Amino acid sequence: MAGPLQRLRQRRLRLGPPAAPSPRDRRQRPPLIGGSREARGGSGTCHGGVIATPKAEGADWLRLRGVAPPMLSADWSVREESDAGPGEEAPGTGGELSRSQVCGMLPELSRDGAFLQGHPHVLVILGASGDLARKKIYPTIWWLFRDGLLPDATRVVGFARSPLTVELIREQTLPYLKVTPEDGPRLAEFLALQSFVRGQYGDEASFRALDAHLRGLPGGDRAHRLFYLALPPSVYTPVTQHLRALCMGQGWNRVIVEKPFGRDLGSSEELSAHLSALFREEQIYRMDHYLGKEMVQSLMVLRFGNRIFGPIWNRDNVACVVLTFKEPFGTEGRGGYFDDFGIIRDVMQNHLLQLLCLVAMEKPASTNPDDVRDEKVKVLKCISPVELQDVVLGQYVGNPEGPPEAQKGYLDDPTVPPGSTTPTFATAVLRVANERWDGVPFVLRCGKALNERKAEVRLQFREVPGDIFAQQCKRNELVVRVQPREAVYAKLNTKKPGMYLRPEESELDLTYGSRYKDVKLPDAYERLLLDVICGNQMHFVRSDELHEAWRIFTPLLHQIEQRREPPIPYPYGSRGPPEADELLRRAGFLYEGTYRWVPPHGPDPHP
């Protein structure tokens, strides 16, 4: 059965006769990366995401596998079969695949030979008994293992205060692993790689025991070690201190930190200073899982890989940019955690601000992680702190006409403190004061218990000057739908079919479910965890980027907390407070309500 990443390459490949390398190939071929199938004497050779097996074994389909393996050797030639008919465009150049095509994943997912298939790796999950580990981290590691995307010599070690065993880990994670009957033998192999160490987060002896356990695994001290902090921020300080002092190996050592990265600028700076005193910036991976989503990563290609968007992606043509994150459910018993942060810290200051950067930034010099992040920081430096007059805050209340779960408001959640003024909805207008975007409002909207599940980027363009159609043409829009039903579509005006010259609003639609029918998009955590293993920090937040993000929102957050004014109530299942729509109108967004995009397969059955 094809795995989720296996279906990303929808090309049928066949092996051609062996071809000798050209002199140019001999000069450019990098050294083989240790631990490949070829180096181990296996029957298959891994070529940049494609495993080619000898033609004598009858392999017609090449299986997508790991990343950063050796390039094509002189003994292999990969050719492409095209299904294009006469006069049709073939999906590629035909003939031998170029090295860049075959190893297309190499530049993104491997840096300086960091991904070594045969080198021992240890993934240490601190907080192994928590929700994040059970629902996301263990399933992600399983999916990568199932699809052959982990280095071959990988071990997984859990660390927590709770008494756990491998069997308990299996029981707790199994509902989230998406295991099929055919996966049984593979799952048994995966569980055989697991182990667990019990300890206290502030106890030095516990971390000495963890280090002793890691030394006893294959590879010992020389294994690469990845520490995933699936922990509350309150214990980051003692845990990272003990890791640095007691648990560093001789290979690379990397640390994943999940958001929230502090509560405001001051606490974030304190955390950053603490981490930077222990680890180098290239060892720290601040994870915002939204940066691993397919459509978020597509924004760079959409912007900088298409000539048609360059001339219109500016203040002369764009009237307004709206970045939206909507959830159709409330806190669902987790209000105590949410109440400590609120919707601005939980979504707006990270997820939506990252989307804003990708929309507004200038073209980076390359796809090198620091080149990309440099441009994001430049955008953030052009944004002034958000003012309260440019914000609408809301808090959902029960809807007596809705289903049972909708009849309870935020304050009805027993885990929420009585009388809480924490907003569950926020709309804010930001402005980027640079040559490209000066005067264009960027509207960030996010909320819980709304009328639908949706995350999208929407650029609304200005009216066509010199209108000749008696104001019948609507504003054009380009929409990148992040979730659900991933899509890119453009709203435009066409002639309505018939006898008369009458404009009608329609769309150009790239819905991924229609265009890529057999492709199962990888989970965001899969991409990001693989990036960490490969040493690619492009989709992770850098310390100066984090500083600028908190600079923009900290004054607003402090003002909200000092005033403690009740947010505007809105019914569970609604669009949010009407005042938010009025703010959008004042900002320059024109909602005409004459057209609504419907996915090709009909409305989302699970909005």
CA distance 564 to 585: 27
Residue 182 makes CB contacts below 8 A (sequence gap 6+) with 1
C-beta separation of 103 from 48 below 8 A: yes
CA distance 153 to 117: 8
Shortest CA distance to 334 belongs to which of 444, 234, 410?
A: 410
Shortest CA distance to 384 belongs to which of 342, 431, 348, 420?
A: 431
Q: Is the peptide bond before 441 cis (omega within 30 degrees of 0)?
A: no
* DSSP H or E stretch at residue 196: strand 194-198
Shortest CA distance to 422 belongs to which of 388, 451, 453, 396?
A: 396
C-beta separation of 111 from 494 below 8 A: no
Residues listed for the chain? 607
Tokens of 188: 């048994």
C-beta separation of 442 from 429 below 8 A: yes
C-beta separation of 74 from 21 below 8 A: yes
**DSSP letters for 334-402:** -HHHHHTTHHIIIIIIIIIHHHHHHHHPPPPSSS-HHHHHHHHHHHHHTBPPPPGGGEEEEEEE--TTS
Q: Strand pairing of 194-198 and 224-229?
A: unpaired
Shortest CA distance to 523 belongs to which of 183, 292, 186?
A: 292
Q: What ranges in 66-120 are assigned the alpha helix state H?
A: 99-102, 106-109
Tokens of 233: 């921020």
Give exposure, 197-235, as e/b (b: 16+ Cβ within 10 Å): bbbebeeeebbebbbebbeebebeeebbbbbbbbbebeb
CA distance 380 to 383: 5
C-beta separation of 472 from 329 below 8 A: no
CA distance 1 to 182: 8
DSSP-derived secondary structure letter, 450? B
Question: Does the annotation mark 119 as catalytic?
Answer: no
To which residue do tokens 């975007």 refer?
A: 437
Per annotation, catalytic residue among 274, 351, 539, 547: 351
Amino acid (one-letter) located at 332: E
Kindly report the three-state secondary structure assignment for every residue of 527-591.
HHHHHHHHCCCCCCECHHHHHHHHHHHHHHHHHHHHHCCCCEEEECCECCCHHHHHHHHHHCCCC
CA distance 340 to 260: 11
To which residue do tokens 């407070």 refer?
A: 577
Could you give phi then psi for residue 28, rounded to 5 degrees?
-90, -15
Q: Which residues are designated catalytic?
A: 351
